[in-house]
Amino acid sequence: MRLLPQDMRGHEAPGARRPVKTQKGGTLMTKRVGAAREPLWNKPFILVLAISVFTCTASQMVTPLISKFALSLGAPLTLAATISSFMSLAALFCRPVSGILSDRMNRKKIMIVSTAIVALSMACYAFSTNIAMLFGARVVHGIAFSFMGVSNMALGSDFVPESRMGEGLGYLGLGNILAYAIGPSLGLEISGTFGYPAVFTLAASLAFISVAAMFLIPDTPRPAPKETAEKKRFSVNNFFAKDITLYVAVLILFTCGNGLMNTYLAILGEERGIPNVGLYFTAYSLAVLLVRPVAGKINDRFGLSAIMIPAFVLGCGGMLLVAGAKSIGPIVLAGVLKALSQGAAQPAIQAYSIRYLGKENAGVATSTCYIGQDLGNSVAPIVGSFVVSGFSFGTLYAGYAVLLLAGGTGCYLLQRFIERKKAGR
C-alpha cells in the first residue's frame, strides 16, 4: 500500500488518527492529526545543514567559472559547454548506485569519502594547464559529487521527523541556497582579482574543512532493511524509482534552467555589456531563503498542487526576462522569479518522493530526483550551445521558457492523474 499524496487524503478532524504505511509494506503506524509537532532542530540536523552550506559554497564558486576557464585554455564554445556540463553527466550515471549504497551502507562514511574526493578534484582544477586535465578533473568531480549529494540528503532525512519531512528537507536545501547567494559572485570576484587557481584552491579548502566536520555527526541508528526477494536480485526499483518518473521529468525541465544560467550567464553578460550578472545568483538565493521554509509548510499542509502550478508560470516569466534583458534589472528580477518557482518546487518533489517511497528508501528516492537534476544540468548547456551558435541567447531562453511552462505542466498533471487512478479516485 502506497502512502497517498497529501492532496488526495481529504479532510480529517483534529485529533483523529491517520494510518501510514511505506510503499514497501512496513509496519502500520498511526499519527494524531492536529497534535503537537515533533521537534525538528536537533544537533545532528543542524550540523548536516552547516556542512551542506560549506560543500555547496565550494561547488558554486567553481561551477560558473568552468566554461570561461575552458575558453581561456583554448576550447571552442561547444566544447567548453560540454566540459562544464560533464560533471552533471558523470554524476548522472552514478546516481542509481549512490542511491542504493546510501540505503544499504553507512551514509556518514559515504559522505566523508565522497566529499574528500570532491575536494581533491577541485584542487586539480588549479593545476590544469590543458583541456584534457580539466576534463579528467571534471569527470572525477561529478562522480564523487553524486555520492556526496545523495548521502547528504539521505543522512539529513534520518534526523527529520516524518511529519515535518517537507519542512526539514526545505531547510536542508538551504545549504544550496546560501551557496548560490555566496559562491558564484565570490568565485567571479576572486577570479577577476587573483585568477582562476585562487578560486579553485579556496573551494578545495572549504571542502576539506567540511570533511573534518563530518566526523562530529553521530552514526544514525537505522534498522537493517528487510532483505526482500526484490532487493536481493537488484531490480530496477533498487536503482531508479519508476513510480516517480514523471516527477523526474519535471525536475529535468526545472534544472535545464540551472544549466543554462550557470554556463552562459557570464558569457551573455559580456556579449550584452551587462555588468555584475552574478547578482542573479544572489537575488535567487536571498529570495529562496524567504520562500523555501514557507513553501515546505505549504507542501506539508496542502500538497504539491499548491506549489507546482504557480512554479511553472513564474519560472517561465523569469526566463523570458533573461531572453530580453539589456540591463541588470531584469536579470535580478529573473533570479527572484526562479526562486519562487524552482526554489519552492524542487524540495517539494524531493519530500513527496521520500514520503511516497518510505524513509527506508530515502537513498533511492533522493538519487532518482538527482538523476533528473543531472540530466537537466548536463544536457541543456550542450543543446544550448547549438541554439546560441545558430540563433541567439534570446532565442535560447525564450524557447526554454515555453518548454518549461507547457512540458512541466503536462508532466505534472499526467503524474497526478496516474496516482489518482491507482488509488481508485
> Pick the residue with more confidence: 227 or 218?
218
In sequence order, what are the beta bridge partners of 18? 31
Q: Cα separation of 419 and 416, whole Å?
A: 5
- Which of 19, 5, 2 lies closest to 351 in space, CA to CA? 5
Q: What is the pLDDT of residues 277-333, one digit of tens each?
A: 888 888 887 887 788 777 777 777 776 777 888 888 899 999 999 999 999 999 999
Q: Cα separation of 127 and 120, whole Å?
A: 11
3-state secondary structure string across 378-408:
HHHHHHHHHHHHHCCHHHHHHHHHHHHHHHH
| Residue-level pLDDT at 201 | 92
Cell of 163: 511529519
> Pick the residue with more confidence: 96 or 75?
75
Q: Cα separation of 141 and 155, whole Å?
A: 21
| Residue-level pLDDT at 200 | 93
| Residue-level pLDDT at 150 | 74
Winning range, highest mean pLDDT, from 57-61, 149-153, 156-160, 228-232: 57-61
Cell of 229: 526477494
Spatial contact of 59 and 118, defined as CB atoms under 8 Å apart: yes
| Residue-level pLDDT at 236 | 56
Q: Cα separation of 319 and 253, whole Å?
A: 12
| Residue-level pLDDT at 328 | 93
Q: What is the pLDDT of residues 160-184, one digit of tens each?
A: 776 676 667 767 776 677 777 788 8
258 burial type by CB count under 10 A (0-12 exposed, 13-18 middle, 19+ buried): buried
- Name the average pLDDT for the chain: 78
Domain chopping of the chain, boundaries:
40-220+237-422
Sign of CA dihedral 386, 248, 408, 295: negative
Q: What is the pLDDT of residues 339-389, one digit of tens each?
A: 888 878 887 887 777 777 776 666 677 777 777 877 888 788 888 888 988
| Residue-level pLDDT at 9 | 41
- Over range 112-134, report the average pLDDT: 91
Percentage of residues in the chain having pLDDT higher than 90: 16
| Residue-level pLDDT at 362 | 67
Q: Please state the φ and ψ torsions of residue 325, each to the nearest 5 degrees.
A: -65, 135
Cell of 123: 584542487
| Residue-level pLDDT at 337 | 92
Query: Options 1.20.1250.20, 3.60.15.10, 1.20.120.1760, 2.30.30.60; which CATH number does 40-220+237-422 get?
Result: 1.20.1250.20
> Pick the residue with more confidence: 365 or 4?
365
pTM to 2 decimal places: 0.62
Among 54-63, 93-102, 140-149, 256-265, the minimum mean pLDDT is found in: 93-102
38 burial type by CB count under 10 A (0-12 exposed, 13-18 middle, 19+ buried): exposed
Percentage of residues in the chain having pLDDT higher than 70: 79
DSSP-based three-state secondary structure for 58: helix
The count of other CB atoms within 10 Å of the CB of residue 192 is 10
